[in-house]
Structure 1
């Protein structure tokens, strides 16, 4: 079923109608050896050039790595690369998929910013070594697509939520829907502080999402609320300053989130989620947190 949906009147299925997918059991991480703030390509970076404590960043990253291992996921670590300080945010360079026949494939990103374009070949090598079929977008047609920064799989269902407006184009989702034979819910982003979909939408399980409502249009909010039974709303402070919606929930039960998100953590626990808080303060200086810092793979 390939289609791109942008408004509620186009929606002709429910979550229960969708093909099931297995949850990923592997995590890709990139060492933050060269992580720093060296330029400004989003509002969160402003004023932070040269201000990263590299030892603190390494410790924060190590704590997250250990948490994935404790959860029972296989962790694959790639080295950072000199000259690419944002490569640690390895959710951005690709969009992986597994078909119902078990075939693994991946669409490689076309990074919006020149500073990050060189990251993609290093991440592509990981997929080549893991027997994924590699798909490249036509760069003459598409100049903006930032992988799972903007394209999020619904939990264990064949559906992609696709953000557009800042780092990915709306038109790219027609091609992605065709390649993966998967419906896409396309959501326009309207606040540049929430420049990727993963900064304002966190899919927790098949029925539950956490959002920052003011990052979306009314049409986008209608679609989110139509397909999720439970929608947790993050406050402006927790969403913008603590990146609450950049959390991740790999197994539909355990939520990894930046520490200090008191309000949303209370709401998560009320719904039965187990909350694990982490410091990602050094990475927040570059406009990323927990979700950005990993890629879940099959």
Structure 2
């Protein structure tokens, strides 16, 4: 695990120099046919507020269609009765470089989801270039707290995923991990307070490091300093956008899919050359999730580089 030395961010953010380019992605999603709020394990959940599961399905379908209309592939895992939060597929695991680690949830109500996602990764992963490593041994809530920036794994802790899980992820996925501590219970997962907009090595605006957006007050001062050191051109979101889960977003490098309510974030993204795609997930917000929570990215192993001599031999 890596802790970076704090530094003062520059006074002005970098501006895009070229048009953004979208990169096709592959996602795993789970329809919310069993969605409900029957327990409260985060500040967003209120068992006295009615939930319309049918409307939740319609909103979820709109998100899936938005992905597919922009060239992304969406795989669907079958929902399991009795698991109302299974719609939040991002929490089901983490997939990087073709290696997948299924989640081990903190709360008993969600623990069977880890087994369901592990089973899907075991059965369906190989056809998608993904090898399952089984279920995590430590408490680990998947992409809820683990966000890949193309170079390092940004790893949240403080409410759900443990620091011991960060060490396990580093060892089993063979990645460098940067630990970030969350302090506001409204932002109980890292993906509610931080979004990766362009992974390192994929930017089309001339930059080299990953681009992110984050809500500073969700983190300890030390973690804020780490983020500002590593991402000096990060978008720092307002509380108004953060509290509608405007940072619970998915980006393909050009299009950023996020809550339609986070209007300030939409403006900030346009200012950086991104195209915000507003999505209404108001029903699923009742469970404490939005766009990213519904989306687990399946990252296959990189294709092997073919030596130039081999290319010439095939020509």
Normalised-by-shorter TM-score class? 0.7 to 0.9
Structure 1: any 5+ residue segments left out of the alignment? 10-22, 99-103
Contact kept? 1:37, 1:285, Cα under 8 Å: yes
Q: Distance in 2 between matches of 1:210 and 1:74?
A: 25
Query: Structure 1 residue 116 and structure 2 residue 110: aligned?
Result: yes
CA gap 1:24/1:160 in 2 versus in 1, 3 angstroms: farther
Give per-residue Cα distances to partners, 1:12-62, cap 9 Å, x unaligned.
Answer: xxxxxxxxxxx672111101110111100001003x446111221111001
Residue aligning to 2:75: 76
Residue aligning to 1:85: 84
Cα offset, 1:7, TM superposition: 3.9
Q: Distance in 2 between matches of 1:78 and 1:171?
A: 28
Residue aligning to 2:288: 287
Give per-residue Cα distances to partners, 1:188-230, cap 9 Å, x unaligned.
Answer: 1111110000000011014421111101111111111122242
Q: TM-score, normalised by structure 2?
A: 0.82
Contact kept? 1:24, 1:296, Cα under 8 Å: no
Contact kept? 2:101, 2:136, Cα under 8 Å: no
Residue of structure 2 aligned with 1:204, choices 197, 217, 224:
197
CA gap 1:138/1:36 in 2 versus in 1, 3 angstroms: closer
Cα offset, 1:126, TM superposition: 2.1
CA gap 1:174/1:211 in 2 versus in 1, 3 angstroms: same
Q: Distance in 1 between matches of 2:256 and 2:48?
A: 30
Q: Distance in 2 between matches of 1:253 and 1:267?
A: 13
Residue aligning to 2:239: 236
Query: Structure 1 residue 276 and structure 2 residue 277: aligned?
Result: yes
Q: Distance in 2 between matches of 1:262 and 1:25?
A: 25
Structure 2: any 5+ residue segments left out of the alignment? 7-22, 200-209, 300-315
Q: Distance in 2 between matches of 1:253 and 1:24?
A: 10
Residue aligning to 1:223: 226
SS of the residue corresponding to residue 95 of structure 1 reads strand
Residue aligning to 1:17: none
Give the number of the structure whose alpha-carbon radius of gyration is greater. Answer: 2
Alignment RMSD (CA, Å): 1.8
SS of the residue corresponding to residue 163 of structure 2 reads coil
Cα offset, 1:136, TM superposition: 4.0
Contact kept? 1:36, 1:50, Cα under 8 Å: no
5 Å-filtered alignment, 1:9-158, equals: 25-46=25-46, 48-49=47-48, 51-98=50-97, 104-128=98-122, 129-131=124-126, 132-136=130-134, 139=137, 142=138, 144-154=139-149, 157-158=150-151
Give the length in aligned residue pairs.
Answer: 270
Contact kept? 1:38, 1:50, Cα under 8 Å: no
Contact kept? 2:92, 2:296, Cα under 8 Å: no
Q: Distance in 2 between matches of 1:107 and 1:77?
A: 18
Cα offset, 1:267, TM superposition: 0.8
Contact kept? 1:39, 1:49, Cα under 8 Å: no
Contact kept? 2:28, 2:89, Cα under 8 Å: yes
CA gap 1:73/1:168 in 2 versus in 1, 3 angstroms: same
SS of the residue corresponding to residue 230 of structure 1 reads coil
